[in-house]
Amino acid sequence: MSNSEARVTATILPSSGMEVLSRAEVRRLCDATAGGLNHLFRRCALAVLSTGSENDDARALIARYPDFDIRVVQQDRGVKLELVNAPSHAFVDGRIIRGTRDLLFAVLRDILYVNSQLRVGDADCSDDTGGITDQVFSILRHAGLLRAQVDPNLVVCWGGHSISRDEYIYTKRVGYEMGLRGKDICTGCGPGAMKGPMKGATIAHAKQRRRSNRYIGITEPGIIAAESPNPIVNQLVIMPDIEKRLEAFVRVGHGIVVFPGGVGTAEEILYLLGILLHPENAQLPFPLVFTGPAHSARYFEQIDQFLRLALGDSVAERYRIVIDDPAEVAQLMAKGIEQVRAHRIANKDAFFFNWTLHMPQAFQQPFSPTHANMASLNLRRDQAQHALAADLRRAFSGIVAGNVKEEGIRLIEQHGPYELNGEPEIMQALDLLLQDFVAQNRMKIPSSEPYKPCYRVVRG
C-alpha cells in the first residue's frame, strides 16, 4: 500500500453510548484529545481504521498515513468524529463500515475513561493490589463486558499474530468446536491466532442459531498500534498497560486455550502459570490447554521443556497439551468450565469476574523495558516458582516491546539490543527457545527484511 492510496475525509456520528454524554464530559473529552492524549488517540484510531493490515510495525503504519488526523467535535447530544485522510478500505461507498465505527468509539470511550476519570498510575494506588484489580474491574464494566446472570462460557484464546497457514486453519477448527458448544471467544483482538478462533466460532454459532455472540478483543495502546483489531471483534477494550490487559484476561475468562505463537504468547503463558503457581491459588480450577496441528508438536515440546526446567516438573500439572484434536480441546474446555462454575457457586464468586483469584503484586506492576530494567531481572531458580515466572514474563514482555512497540523499537535503535543475564542453564534454554522462534518466523510477520534480534542472551 503506497501513500498514493485513496483517502477518505468524513464525519462519523456517535455510536451507542457516546450520544448521552453531559456537556462537561464532552468538554473534558475534547480538551483531552486536543492535548496530551491526541497522539495516543490518533495512533489507536488509525490502527482500528487499518483493520485487516498484515503489518506489525507501529511506526510503519503511522508513516504510511502521515496526513491522517482525527478530531473530536462537540455537539449537544454527545460527540462526533471528523476523520481526515483516513484509509479508504474502512469505508464502503463513502460510508464507514459499521463494525469499524463501533471500534473507533470504543477507543474514544476507553482512552477518555482511563485517562480522565480513573487516573491510572497515581502513586496512591500503584502499590495497592486490590485497588489495581478494582481499576481493571471498572474499565471492563464501563466497556459493558461484565454481564450478570450469564453462565460461565468465555474462552480466552492466546497465540501468535505471525503463524503459518496450517496453524491459522487449526485455530479456526478449534473455534468452530467451541462455538458448537456455546462458547464465546476472547482474544488479543489482532490477526493470526487471535482472529482464527473467532472466525471458526461465528460459523458454529450461526449453525446453532445462537444470537448475542461475543467476540471480545482486549488490547493496550502499545499493542493495538502494531496489531490492528480483526474485523470479527464486536467488543473491544483498550486497557492502559500490558499488566492490566493480562489481568483482564484471567479475571473475565473461564478457561484459556494457547495456540502456537512467539514471545508474546510465552509472556502470556508465564503470566498465567506464575499466578496459578502461587500457593493461594493451588486449589483454584482454571482449565488451560496448549494445542496446535500435528506439525506444531515440536513447538509445545519446546515450551514444555523450558517451563519444566525453569519452574520444575510440577508446573505441568496446571496445563494439558493436545495435538491435532480440536474436538478434544473443546471438550476439555467445556468440562473445565463446569468445574469453574461449581467452584464459583461454592465460593459465592461472580461468574463474570474472578474475584477469588489471588493476584501477586509482581504481576500487576507495569514493567518498563529499559535496558537497565531488562539487565537487572532475576532469572535464577533461587526464589519461589511464581517469583521467577514473574521475571521471565518481564523478559519476554521486553522482547515484545523491542519487536513491535514504537517506544521499544526506538530504545533499541538508540542503545542496541537488550541484554539478559541469569542462571546459565536457564539462559541456555532461553537462548535456544528464542532461536527456534526466530527460525520458525514467530518473532514478527515475515517481510523482505530478515529479523534482527532486539536482545542478547548472556549465557555465562
Listed by start position, the domains of the chain span 7-118, 125-460
pLDDT in tens, 299-309: 999 999 999 99
Examine the pLDDT at 20 and tell me if it is beyond 70: no
| pLDDT value at 4 more than 60 | no
* 44 membership: H or E segment, kind and range: helix 38-49
Res. 56: pLDDT tops 70: no
> CA 172 to CA 197: how far, in whole Å?
5
Specify the pLDDT at position 125: 53
pLDDT for 78-121, tens place per residue? 678 899 999 998 999 989 999 999 999 898 888 877 876 665 55
Helix (H) / strand (E) containing 366: none
Long-range pairs for 376-384: beta carbons < 8 A, 24 or more residues apart: 377/420, 377/421, 377/422, 378/422, 379/420, 379/421, 379/422, 379/423, 379/426, 379/427, 379/430, 380/422, 380/423, 380/426, 381/310, 381/423, 381/426
Give the strand pairing for 95-96 and 91-92. Answer: antiparallel
Rounded to whole angstroms, how far apart are CA atoms 256 and 209? Answer: 25
The mean-pLDDT minimum among 68-77, 98-107, 163-172, 323-332 falls in: 68-77
pLDDT of residue 383: 94
* Rg of the chain in Å (alpha carbons): 21
Closest CA to 456 of 413, 416, 426: 416
Question: Residues 256-266: pLDDT tens digits?
Answer: 999 999 898 99
pLDDT at 272: 97
Q: How far is the C-alpha of 394 from the C-alpha of 389, rounded, in Å?
A: 9
Task: Give the global pTM.
Answer: 0.90
Mean pLDDT value across residues 53-65: 69
* pLDDT confidence bin for 123, thresholds 50/70/90: very low
- Type of residue found at 90: A
Lowest-confidence region among 71-80, 273-282, 286-295, 423-432: 71-80
Q: What is the pLDDT of residues 361-402, one digit of tens each?
A: 999 999 999 999 999 999 999 999 999 999 999 999 999 899
Cell of 411: 530504545
Q: Does domain 125-460 have CATH number 3.30.70.141?
A: no
Position 238 scores a pLDDT of 94
Q: Which of 114, 154, 156 is nearest to 135 (CA)?
A: 114
Q: Which of the four CATH numbers 3.40.190.10, 3.40.50.1440, 3.50.30.30, 3.30.1850.10 does domain 7-118 have?
A: 3.30.1850.10
Q: Is 359 exposed, middle or buried (0-12, 13-18, 19+ CB in 10 A)?
A: buried
The pLDDT-based confidence of 287 (bands split at 50, 70, 90) is: very high
Sheet holding 78-87, edge to edge: 7-12, 78-87, 69-75
Closest CA to 33 of 113, 140, 150, 96: 113
Beta-sheet pairing, 7-12 with 78-87: antiparallel
Determine contact, residues 276/284, Cβ cutoff 8 Å.
yes
Phi, psi of 71 (to 5 degrees): -130, 140
* Stronger pLDDT, 162 or 280, i.e. the higher one: 280
pLDDT value at 409 more than 50: yes
Question: How big, in percent rounded to 5, are the helix, strand and coil portions of the chain?
Answer: 50, 15, 35
Which of 105-119, 171-185, 210-224, 435-449 is modeled with the greatest confidence? 171-185
The per-residue pLDDT of the chain, averaged, comes to 88
Mean pLDDT confidence for 163-186: 97
Is residue 64 pLDDT above 90, yes or no? no
145 vs 238: CA distance, rounded Å: 12
**Average pLDDT estimate for 268-279:** 96
* Average pLDDT of the residues in 68-73: 85
Find the mean pLDDT for residues 323-352: 97
pLDDT score of 404: 80
Phi, psi of 35 (to 5 degrees): -105, -130
Out of 71-80, 86-95, 176-185, the most confident range is 176-185
Confidence of residue 122 (pLDDT cuts 50, 70, 90): low
| DSSP secondary structure code for residue 163 in this structure | -
DSSP 82-117: EEEEEEGGGEETTEE-HHHHHHHHHHHHHHHHIIII
Reduce the secondary structure of 5-21 to three states and give it as a string: CCEEEEEECCCCCHHHC
CA separation for the pair 261, 188 (Å, rounded): 12
pLDDT at residue 61 above 90? no
- Mean pLDDT for 223-231 is 82
- The pLDDT confidence band at residue 124, using thresholds 50, 70 and 90, is very low
Q: Averaging pLDDT over each range in 127-136, 215-224, 353-362, which range is the top one? A: 353-362
Give me the residue label for grid cell 502470556. Answer: 268
pLDDT for res 2: 46
